[in-house]
Each structure stands twice: as structure tokens, then as C-alpha cells.
């Protein structure tokens, strides 16, 4: 079932241990405890969502996800996520480049600020955006209850992914290659396209996929600023929340399964990609 | 002669910093300004209201239970994944990342379905006399769920890096499993554990969606600080919402400063940039 599993059988990194004694009552007991905890906390509840979604037959499941309001929410979620990922790629690479190759005062502080969206609670993120882009905006820009607000909130919470994926790779990229190309008369755009981009692509893909997975499930930063209007600014997670509140967990579960599948596929593809790359580079 | 000209360099810098300012820095500064524009009295009153204080303590209780549990699990899980070889190990490794990938609302729904009436675990909990949904246990479970992967993911690379030689030496000299763990393994991974604990705490403090579903958001009863922010805002008590948001934002800044400090210490195995939200199995070559 899992190609990564069989492919990695001759796991090379750790040598086979000889008589190594482990705490928590030794190997099998410890493994059992870990797997039990993971199952009780994560796996069984998620399985319940899947089971519940088809509880009343595949027909109900299909009806739940093809209901016009659900379709509108899913469509908005996917399109908004794709758009913000594209913006993230452009600005992520640009900001990463500035953080690695440029020197200016206060760079260290800017570098720390980039992590804020990861540390800041999502509800605070939404409130934060409201102060500048809400109805009492000091610059006269009010995007509340529009699709732009959805995009803005998603951009805020996903800001660090591409930057943090690209930054370390950019550190490693050989600066001399760029300088050689420049001395041979290559334009900046040509240098970027033929030298930097090929090196950065895997990191960009990784960062973009993580940002996408985060964006399709985002909830907290959206509730205050988007108004959660059905057929307009309501994303999938808000739709699910509304269905739970209306005591319709089956419909909530159906759309949840859809979100689950998308994010699991993205993450699975990403780890396959990472695995394929590590083999590729070794060969 | 560096590749892009000086002008291009300054142009790129301006665009990059402008983007960060518009999206992040200026809005955050605005929150501080708005909170304190009418003085300190109103925000102080809001966060020290009975509901505000209660929400604060609920947050502390959720974090105080969830993070230690996940720390124990995280260290044990990392040991199992790095030091043991068993079938399906990579599958388990991938599954650890699930809480990063799943929407908070779906996490809330999952717990709701299992523990609410008619759920798989509802009977057991009822016979134990524990109300999970719309009560503290559900909120703690939600917090545990969302912050589960952090310690595992920070400890795994450190364990790979330190290898097994010292542990084997300790075993050879007659140390039992726990002695080896306390005297050899734990000191070697302590900064990785600290890193994970800090990140898990940040996530647990701010969790909104999952807790919102299972708590029922009952003001003064099942409300954490993030839920309090939303409630105050919806009740047109904007000063209270801003004030509570400031408390949470300050906690986030403390987390960032700690992470930066840990990074500067050169936490072994930690990447140059903190893996604040790593996904996917840590199965790269050591």
C-alpha cells in the first residue's frame, strides 16, 4: 500500500543495535504505548469522521458534497488556496533572496518577524488584519466580507512556508556560478532562470505544498474578517463549522473527508517527492 | 562585481520589506495602537473581567496538561521511530504529521463524533462519569491533538545525529533502560526537547478551531483566551478583544525570542531556520 515503506526497507542510517536497552519497559511495550496513544488521540477520531460521512450510505455522502453551498465553499477554498500559493511563491522567493543575499540594518529582526505567523494564534491574525484592512481602516481600505479578505488572511498565515523552505537552499547555492554567468554577460533574469531557479525548485515545491495544505484547512484567521457569507466568502472549514452548529454532523463529515483527502494526498506526495530526491541525489 | 546591480538590489529589498510591512508589521503595530489609544484602563478592565481571567486559566490548564503529555509521548515516539525497526515504521512516521495537515475544524469534529452521544468512546466516558464534549476534557483532547507532532519532530533528528554508541556503552556497563535514558539519552536530546516544547506550547496556547467545536464556547465556562477574543469582538466589546489579543501576541513574541535564543545556542540537529511547521517524515540521511 505504501511504496515509501517497501522502498525504504534497507534503511541505512542507523546500524542495527546490539542489546540496546530502552526505557518504558523495553521495545515492544514502548512501541505499543506510542501506537496506542497515536490511535486514541488522532487515528480513531479521524476514522470516525470517515465512517460518519458514509454512515447513511454513499448517496448521502454524495448529496452532502454536491450541495450547492458545499460546492461553492469547496471551490472558493481550492481557488483561493491556489492563488495565495502562487503569490507566496513569488514573494517567498523574493523575500528569501533578500534575506540571504542582501545586507541591511535590522535584517536579523526582520528575519525573526517572518516567523510570527507561525507563533501568533490564528484568531489574533484575523483581528490584526482587521485593524488595517477593516471598516475602521486608517488608510481607507476596507476589504471585510469580501473574497480579498479570504486571500489576505490566507497570505498572512502561510507567509513563512516558502521563505523558510527556500532560505537554507539559497545559502548553499554557489554564488560563484552566478558571478561567472554575470561576467559572461548574462542578464539578471537569465541568471535567475538558468542558475537559481533549477536549484530552488524542489524547495519551492515543498514550501508551496505546505502552504497549500495549511490554506485549505485554515479557520481561525478567517472567522472575523470574511463574514462567512455562504456562496460568497464561506470557505470549506467555515462551512463544516456551520454544519456542526446546525446539528448536521453527517454533512460536516462529508466535506471534512474531502479536505482530509486533499491534504493527505498533498503531504503524501511531498514525502514521496522528498524520498525520491534523496535517492536521486545519492545515485 | 555581484550579480544584480545596486539599484536592482535596493528595488528588491524595498518590495520584500514593503510586503512584510503591509501584511505583518503595520497591522500588528495597529493592534497595539488601537488597544491603548484610549488609555490602559479599558483593556486592563477587559482582561481582568471574570470571563477574561477564567479564559486565561482555561488556556493555562489546557496547555499545562497537553504539553507535558505530548512531551512524554514525543520523546517515546521519537525513540521508537529512530531506534527501532518494524514493519510500517514509515507509515507511522507519516501519520505523526497528520495534525499539521488536518483542518482544526475537522479535528474538532473528529473528537466530537467520538465522544458525543452515540460516539465510539461515549459509553466508556459516561461510565467513568466524565463529560468530554462542551467541557474541559474535550478542550484538553483537542489541544493534545493539535500540538502532538512538535516534540517528536524536533527530537527525531537529534536522536539520529547522536547515534547509539554512548547508549550501547552504558548498556554494556550494566545500566538498565531507565538509567541509560536519564543519564545518557535525555541529556543529549535536551535542547531538541526544549525546542519541541516551546513550539508545542505556542500552538497549544493559540488553538482556536478545534477547541471552538468541542467546547461549545460557553462564556465564563469553556472559553479559552482565543475564544474569548472572538466572543468579545462579536459582542462589540472591541477593547476586550484587542486586549486579549495583545496578551496572546506577547506570548507569541516570547516564544519567538526563545526559539531565536535556542537557535543561536546551536541546538544540535536543528536546521538554520526553525522547522516551526515541519511536515512529512524525517527520514533523510543523517
| Per-residue pLDDT band at A67 (split at 50, 70, 90) | very high
Where along chain B do its domains lie?
Answer: 1-37, 39-264
User: What residues have CB less than 8 Å from B87, skipping those under 6 apart?
Assistant: A5
User: Which residue of B277, B282, B284, B285 to mutate against A (max A Cβ within 10 Å)?
Assistant: B277
**Which B residues 142-181 touch A at CB under 8 Å?**
144-145, 148, 160, 163-164, 167-168, 171-172, 175-178, 180-181
Which tops the pLDDT comparison, B94 or A9? B94
* Residue A26 in this model has a pLDDT that exceeds 70: no
* Residue A22: per-residue pLDDT: 62
Nearest chain A residue to B231 by CA distance is A224
Please state, as a whole number, how many other Cβ atoms lie within 10 Å of the Cβ of residue B160. 20
What pLDDT is stored for residue A92 in this prediction?
96
**d(CA B127, nearest CA chain A) in Å:** 18
- Per-residue pLDDT at B238: 87
pTM as predicted: 0.88
- Judged by a CB distance cut-off of 8 A, whether residue A260 touches chain B is yes
Q: Does residue A192 have a pLDDT over 80?
A: yes
Q: Which CATH architecture has domain B39-264?
A: Orthogonal Bundle (1.10)
How many angstroms separate the CA atoms of A41 and B138, rounded?
A: 11
Give the tens place of pLDDT for each residue, A93-133. 999 999 998 889 999 889 889 989 988 999 999 999 999 99
Rounded distance, CA B104 to CA A219, Å?
7
Q: Alpha-carbon distance B26 to B20, whole Å?
A: 9
Query: How far is the alpha carbon of B190 from chain A, nearest alpha carbon, in Å?
Result: 16
Taking residues B11-33, report their average pLDDT: 93
pLDDT at B179: 87
Which pLDDT score, from 0 to 100, does residue A20 have?
A: 54
Mean pLDDT of A56-84: 94
| B88 to A120: CB separation less than 8 angstroms, yes or no | no
Give the one of A23, A104, A110 whose C-beta lies nearest to B181's C-beta.
A23
Residues of A in contact with B286 (CB under 8 A): 13-14
Closest to B272 (Cβ–Cβ): which among A26, A168, A183?
A: A168
Compute the average pLDDT of residues B265-269: 54
Tens of pLDDT along B101-149? 899 999 999 999 999 988 899 999 989 999 999 999 999 999 999 999 9
For B73-109, what is each residue's pLDDT tens digit? 999 999 999 988 888 888 898 889 889 889 999 999 9
pLDDT over 60 (residue B267): no
Q: What is the mean pLDDT of residues B262-268?
A: 66
- Which positions 24-53 of B are in contact with A (Cβ < 8 Å)? 24-28, 30-31, 33-34
Cβ within 8 Å of residue B189, ≥6 positions away: B75, B78, B155, B158, B159, B162
Q: What is the pLDDT of residues B24-58, one digit of tens each?
A: 999 999 999 988 888 888 888 888 899 999 999 99
A35: which chain B residues are within 8 Å (Cβ-Cβ)?
92
Q: With beta carbons less than 8 A apart as the criterion, state whether B114 and B120 touch.
A: yes
Q: Does any CB of chain B come closer than 8 Å to the CB of residue A11?
A: yes
Highest mean pLDDT among A24-38, B138-152, B159-173: B138-152
For the ranges A59-63, B27-31, B63-67, B153-157, the maximum mean pLDDT occurs at: B63-67
Q: What is the pLDDT of residues B165-210, one digit of tens each?
A: 888 888 888 888 888 889 889 999 998 899 899 999 999 999 999 9
Q: What is the dihedral of CA A67, A72, A78, A79, to 10 degrees?
A: 150
User: What does the DSSP assignment read for chain A?
Assistant: --HHHHHT-S--SSPPPSS---TTTSHHHHHHHHHHHHIIIIIHHHHHHHHHHTTTHHHHHHHHHHSHHHHHHHHHHHHHHHHHHHHHHHHHHHHHHHHHH---TTHHHHHHHTTHHHHS-HHHHHHHHHHHHSTT-TTS---TTSHHHHHHHHHHHHHHHHHHHHHHHHHHS-HHHHHHHHHTT--HHHHIIIIIHHHHHHHHHHHHHHHHHHHHH--TTTTTTSTT-TTTT--HHHHHHHHHHTT-HHHHHHHHHHHHHHHHHHHHHHHHHHHHHHHHHH-
Is the pLDDT at A271 greater than 70? The verdict is: yes
| Percent helix, percent strand, percent coil in chain B, to nearest 5 | 75, 0, 25
CB pairs under 8 A between A and B: 343
Per-residue pLDDT at A259: 94
Q: Mean pLDDT, chain A, as a whole number?
A: 86
pLDDT score, position A17: 45
H/E run at residue B242? helix B238-264
Chain B hits for A259, CB-CB cut-off 8 Å, are 102-103, 106
Domains of chain A from N-terminus onward: 68-282 (1.10.3720.10)
* Closest-CA distance of chain A to residue B243, Å: 11
Amino acid at each position: 500500500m505504501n511504496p515509501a515503506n517497501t522502498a525504504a526497507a534497507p534503511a541505512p542510517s542507523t546500524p542495527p543495535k546490539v542489546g540496546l536497552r530502552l526505557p518504558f519497559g523495553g521495545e515492544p511495550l514502548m512501541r505499543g504505548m506510542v501506537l496506542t496513544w497515536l490511535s486514541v488521540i488522532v487515528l480513531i477520531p479521524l476514522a470516525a469522521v470517515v465512517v460518519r460521512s458514509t454512515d447513511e450510505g454513499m448517496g448521502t455522502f454524495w448529496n452532502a458534497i454536491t450541495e450547492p453551498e458545499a460546492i461553492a465553499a469547496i471551490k472558493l477554498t481550492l481557488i483561493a488556496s491556489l492563488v495565495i500559493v502562487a503569490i507566496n511563491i513569488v514573494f517567498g522567493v523574493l523575500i528569501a533572496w533578500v534575506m540571504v543575499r542582501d545586507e541591511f540594518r535590522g535584517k536579523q529582526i526582520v528575519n525573526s518577524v517572518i516567523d510570527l505567523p507561525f507563533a501568533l494564534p490564528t484568531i489574533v491574525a484575523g483581528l490584526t488584519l482587521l485593524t488595517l484592512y477593516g471598516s475602521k481602516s486608517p488608510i481607507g481600505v476596507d476589504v471585510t466580507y469580501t473574497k480579498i479578505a479570504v486571500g489576505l488572511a490566507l497570505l498572512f498565515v502561510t507567509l513563512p512556508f516558502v521563505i523558510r523552505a527556500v532560505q537554507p537552499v539559497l545559502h548553499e547555492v554557489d554564488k560563484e556560478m552566478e558571478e561567472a554567468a554575470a561576467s559572461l554577460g548574462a542578464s539578471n533574469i537569465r541568471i535567475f532562470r538558468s542558475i537559481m531557479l533549477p536549484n530552488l525548485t524542489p524547495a519551492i515545491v515543498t514550501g508551496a505544498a505546505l502552504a497549500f495544505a495549511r490554506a485549505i484547512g485554515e479557520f481561525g484567521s478567517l472567522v472575523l474578517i470574511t463574514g462567512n457569507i455562504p456562496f460568497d466568502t464561506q470557505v470549506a472549514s467555515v462551512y463544516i463549522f456551520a454544519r456542526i452548529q446546525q446539528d448536521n454532523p453527517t454533512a460536516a463529515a462529508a466535506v471534512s473527508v474531502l479536505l482530509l483527502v486533499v491534504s493527505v494526498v498533498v503531504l503524501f506526495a511531498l514525502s514521496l517527492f522528498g524520498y525520491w530526491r534523496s535517492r536521486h541525489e545519492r545515485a | 562585481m555581484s550579480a544584480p546591480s545596486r539599484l536592482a538590489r535596493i528595488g528588491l529589498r524595498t518590495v520584500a520589506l514593503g510586503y512584510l510591512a503591509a501584511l505583518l508589521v503595520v497591522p500588528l503595530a495597529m493592534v497595539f495602537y488601537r488597544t491603548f489609544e484610549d488609555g490602559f484602563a479599558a483593556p486592563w478592565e477587559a482582561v481582568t473581567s471574570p470571563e477574561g481571567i477564567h479564559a486565561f486559566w482555561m488556556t493555562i490548564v489546557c496547555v499545562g496538561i497537553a504539553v507535558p503529555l505530548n512531551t512524554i509521548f514525543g520523546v517515546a515516539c521519537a525513540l521508537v521511530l529512530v531506534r527501532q525497526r518494524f514493519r510500517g515504521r514509515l507509515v507511522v512516521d507519516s501519520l505523526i504529521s497528520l495534525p499539521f495537515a488536518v483542518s482544526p475544524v475537522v479535528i474538532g469534529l473528529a473528537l466530537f463524533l467520538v465522544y458525543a452521544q452515540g460516539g465510539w468512546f461515549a459509553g466508556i466516558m459516561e461510565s467513568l462519569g466524565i463529560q468530554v464534549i462542551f467541557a474541559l476534557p474535550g478542550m484538553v483532547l483537542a489541544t493534545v491533538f493539535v500540538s502532538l507532532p512538535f516534540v517528536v519532530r524536533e527530537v527525531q533528528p537529534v536522536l539520529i545525529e547522536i547515534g547509539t554508541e554512548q547508549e550501547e556503552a552504558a548498556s554494556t556497563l550494566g545500566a538498565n533502560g531507565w538509567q541509560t535514558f536519564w543519564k545518557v539519552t535525555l541529556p543529549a536530546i535536551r535542547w531538541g526537547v526544549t525546542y519541541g516544547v516551546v513550539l508545542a506550547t505556542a500552538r497549544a496556547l493559540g488553538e482556536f478551531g478545534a477547541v471552538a467545536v468541542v467546547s461549545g464556547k460557553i462564556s465564563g465556562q469553556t472559553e479559552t483566551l482565543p475564544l474569548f477574543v472572538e466572543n468579545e469582538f462579536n459582542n462589540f466589546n472591541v477593547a476586550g478583544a484587542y486586549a486579549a489579543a495583545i496578551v496572546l501576541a506577547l506570548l507569541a513574541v516570547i516564544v519567538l525570542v526563545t526559539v531565536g535564543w535556542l537557535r543561536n545556542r546551536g541546538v544540535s540537529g536543528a536546521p538554520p531556520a526553525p522547522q516551526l511547521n515541519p511536515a512529512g517524515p524525517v527520514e533523510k540521511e543523517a
